[in-house]
A = this chain, B = another copy of it.
Amino acid sequence: MIVPAVSAAPTEAELDALWEACCGENWGRWGAEDELGTLNHLSAEHRRRAAALVRDGVTISLAHDLGVDPTPECPFPAHHHMLAAGDSRENTGIPGYEASRDYVGTQVHGLGITHVDALCHMFVRGEMYNGRPASDVRSDGARSNTIMAFADGVVGRGVLLDMVAANGGAPLADAAVITRAELEAAERALGVEAGAGDILCIATGRDTRRAAAGGALNPAQGMAGVHPDCIPFFAEREIAVLGSDGISDPMPGLGITNWIFPVHQIGIAGLGLPLIDNLHLGRLAAGCSAVGRYEFLFTLGTLRIVGGTGCPANPIAAL
């Protein structure tokens, strides 16, 4: 798939054209009923080969703890409420039965929770992936492009482009914008190439930066992400899923009118590219560095939320 290249300082018209091109390529590409989008790139054969990447048998979580205290990164944290703790373990009254129970709830999206964006999460001018109308997403749940499309999971080859390692070890600056050329340079530096059906994870060093900042970052001060000229890269390479330790889009970004978060807007709604936001990639980067390989088996079971626009997640990498 060839879509128009994007210049270094893209105009609104340029992203309009990119949007049109992406829709033109992928809407209808896998049929009018398709809800998988670029996950169609991930074939059974890709999965089989990905499984063969498990050599050390080590697994690494790619998620953050579900935060329950508000922070600038996560102003609407999750709720974890005990329903019966040790003090009430006998409250069912069944002799000998002693149990604890709890409740967990969370907003799915945002800048803190590790989560998957379903294809109904984003609209452009009232339309979502495959030409479906915004009115399909109703107040009692979405009718199409929901997280249920991914219910059989995402199991495939994961590729980590650790921009920190590729750039000599320093976390990217606040608000850094990563270009396609930099992604390609990172591929060469790390000895890996992202290709068809891959789950591409881009590390910007956000977790290292947070730790250095004493445990809390403020997204208002910027968050690293990719330049919109990477969107043609994702399309051409036939990436299945894109993840980042940020939200893929940089903040505050390039200031292009109507295209504040082009990877979300054009990626999700145009290409049908599911995103995973707020991955924890620090542990994975250490693991990949240790074994000298930046590819791994990526596994993810999305919660089966009927009508859902995404889900909280803990993807697991197996090296």
With a cutoff of 8 Å between Cβ atoms, the chain B residues found around residue A261 in the complex are: 97
- Across the interface, do A96 and B139 meet the contact criterion of CB distance under 8 Å? no
Whether A83 sits at the interface, judged by CB under 8 Å, is yes
- Across the interface, do A65 and B306 meet the contact criterion of CB distance under 8 Å? yes
- Across the interface, do B100 and A309 meet the contact criterion of CB distance under 8 Å? yes
With a cutoff of 8 Å between Cβ atoms, the chain B residues found around residue A84 in the complex are: 139-140
* CB-CB under 8 A for A86 and B87, given A96-B258, A104-B303: yes
- Across the interface, do B106 and A155 meet the contact criterion of CB distance under 8 Å? no
Whether A310 sits at the interface, judged by CB under 8 Å, is yes
In the complex the two chains form, what is the Cα distance from A53 to B314 in whole Å?
Answer: 23
- Across the interface, do B95 and A103 meet the contact criterion of CB distance under 8 Å? no
Whether A123 sits at the interface, judged by CB under 8 Å, is yes
* CB-CB under 8 A for A257 and B96, given A59-B152, A301-B301: yes
- Across the interface, do A134 and B89 meet the contact criterion of CB distance under 8 Å? yes
- Across the interface, do A305 and B104 meet the contact criterion of CB distance under 8 Å? yes
Whether A297 sits at the interface, judged by CB under 8 Å, is yes
* CB-CB under 8 A for A99 and B123, given A57-B48, A66-B305, A306-B80: yes
In the complex the two chains form, what is the Cα distance from A311 to B103 in whole Å?
Answer: 9
Whether A137 sits at the interface, judged by CB under 8 Å, is yes
- Across the interface, do B59 and A54 meet the contact criterion of CB distance under 8 Å? no
* CB-CB under 8 A for A314 and B153, given A97-B265, A103-B108: yes
Interface range, A side = 35 or more
> Which of B48, B101, B102, B152 meets A60, CB within 8 Å?
B152
Q: How far is the CB of A93 from chain B (nearest CB, A)?
A: 11
- Across the interface, do A304 and B86 meet the contact criterion of CB distance under 8 Å? no
Contact with B along A145-164 (1 / 0, CB 8 A): 00010011101000000000
Interface set, chain A 78-95, CB cutoff 8 A to B:
78-89, 91, 94-95
* Residue among A54, A135, A148 with the highest chain B CB neighbour number at 10 A: A54
Interface set, chain A 97-133, CB cutoff 8 A to B:
97-109, 114, 120-126, 133
Nearest chain B residue, comparing its CB with the CB of A104: B305
Whether A172 sits at the interface, judged by CB under 8 Å, is no
Interface of A with B (CB < 8 Å)? 43-48, 50-61, 63-66, 68-70, 75-76, 78-89, 91, 94-109, 114, 120-126, 133-142, 148, 151-153, 155, 257-261, 264-265, 297, 299-316, 318
